[in-house]
Amino acid sequence: MRVLVVNTNCERSPDTIIPIGACCVASSAKNAGYDIHFLDLTFSRSPRTDVINAINKIKPNVIALSVRNIDNCDMLYPKSYMPFMRDLAETCRTVSDSPLVIGGSGVTCIPGPMLAYLGGDYAIVGEGEGSFPALLSTLEEKKDPAGVPGVVSAADENVLLPPVPCHSFSSAPNVDLSEWLDIGKYQRSGAAMPVQTKRGCSFHCSYCLYPKMEGEGIRLRNADEVASDVLLAEISGFRSVEFVDSVFNAPEAHAISCCEAIASKDNRIPLQSLEVNPLYASAGLVQAMNSAGFSAVGCTAESASDDMLESLNKGFGVEQLHQAARQFRKLNATKVWVFMLGGPGETEKTVAETVRFIEKELTPGDLVYITLGIRILPGTELNKTAIKEGLVSHNDDLLWPKFYFSPRLEPERAMSIIAASRFPSANIISISDGNSRLLPLFQKMAHALHISPPYWRLAPQWNRFSRAFRSGWWRD
């Protein structure tokens, strides 16, 4: 059976992302004995044409589209990727009558409605390493795939997120990214080598689906295997490794073990993680991260108001945030602190509390990342709150971007409070800053100048340049 797997993500702002999930699923299907062909559209200038050419050349028995994102999660400048995805799906239908399967993190969020909108035959929810080969087996044997864990068919109506099967790392195949991707293109764009130390999420943030997508049980990888992946990244020519766990430092003991294993191999490649939880910030963790070679981290505070942290069900309070900030000052890495404004109960007072934390605890070398509004996802506590407040209806499948923003505050007022802070304005990044079409070019330039990623570390310089450019100084 010939199978065409298509990485459909063409978005390269703010970063160029390696499709590790699609590669893992492709490797699992190959190990199961299927003839797997991989089409990567990340750098495609004509995705529709490339899909047509691939189908005509391969003549696949099954076509699988991997969907990473539903939309850009930007409340001020929302962009849905669904019309693009439907065009690709219709293109597949035009040139092939083979079964069309969709999967990926975007599909897992809203499988039934997305399957119906795209006109696919089957959707894979959750981790596809086991589900996808199982689906291929039933199709090859012309059996009914109903009952295959993690598979949703077009006949299943109103399916949002069924129980997700969890794949064990112990049986996961070794994934050679170069088998599926042109790694050189990603490296020249400053992409980091993605590495997972675990799967699963035991947190219960009110807006997040990770526990339902990966399961609440934490499945840990062997620390030495993690260290070997980091060493392989350096050998392969990457300039950075990014840990793509839902939360890197929980459980903290495992994060420390991974860091110690990496340090024992005399690691020289910079490490990063954008998912560092302030709840776990011991001196031992910071020391281990320094020894391992971390150069950049994202601290997911979301707010610095006790009322808002409770509203978002973050599991920690402001006092723990202050303790984390003091510990992270000892971390030899650029820190970007992530704040999510506009959740249930947000007011001018709670935003001002966040500003006071920024002014008191963050250093001029730190960055602040601000999102306005929270993308509402089905099945979350935030969705229930939005329904209760009449912001969305019970029947809204949320395939199209809907955002929660506190009715007690105006978005413009929230940003004006942030802008009026004593924290350097050039160090403040908004989610909309990642929409620039110049960023892919900037990535290539930074690579050519041998600047180590992640390039968001250069946000202050980028902000000063872009603001000066918009002011029109170059016309004088």
pLDDT per residue as tens digits for the range 331-369 = 999 999 999 999 999 999 999 999 999 999 999 999 999
Average pLDDT over residues 385-398: 96
What is residue 26's three-state secondary structure?
A: helix
Distance CA 280, CA 69 (A): 29
Check: CB of residue 6 under 8 Å from CB of residue 19: no
Q: How many residues does the chain have?
A: 476
DSSP state, 174? P
- Residue 445's pLDDT is 79
Average pLDDT over residues 442-464: 76
Structure tokens at 310: 């409770």
∠ CA 458-462-465, nearest 5°, is: 145
- Residue 172's pLDDT is 54
| Per-residue pLDDT at 170 exceeds 70 | no
- Residue 476's pLDDT is 52
Neighbours of 373 (CB within 10 A): 24
Residue 80 main-chain phi, psi, to 5 deg: -90, 140
- Residue 169's pLDDT is 62
| Per-residue pLDDT at 42 exceeds 70 | yes
| Per-residue pLDDT at 473 exceeds 70 | no
Is the pTM here over 0.95, yes or no? no
> What percent of the chain is modeled with pLDDT above 70?
92
Average pLDDT over residues 305-331: 97
Q: Residue ranges of the alpha helices (H) in 77-154?
A: 82-95, 105-109, 111-118, 128-140
Structure tokens at 241: 């490794």
Average pLDDT over residues 371-386: 96
Dihedral over alpha carbons 406, 408, 410, 414 (to 10 degrees):
-80
- Residue 459's pLDDT is 76
Give helix 223-235 / helix 252-264 axis angle, nearest 10°: 50
Q: Pick the range with the lowest mean pLDDT from 103-107, 302-306, 435-439.
A: 435-439
Could you report the per-residue pLDDT of 101-129, keeping only the tens digit for each? 999 999 999 999 999 999 999 999 988 99
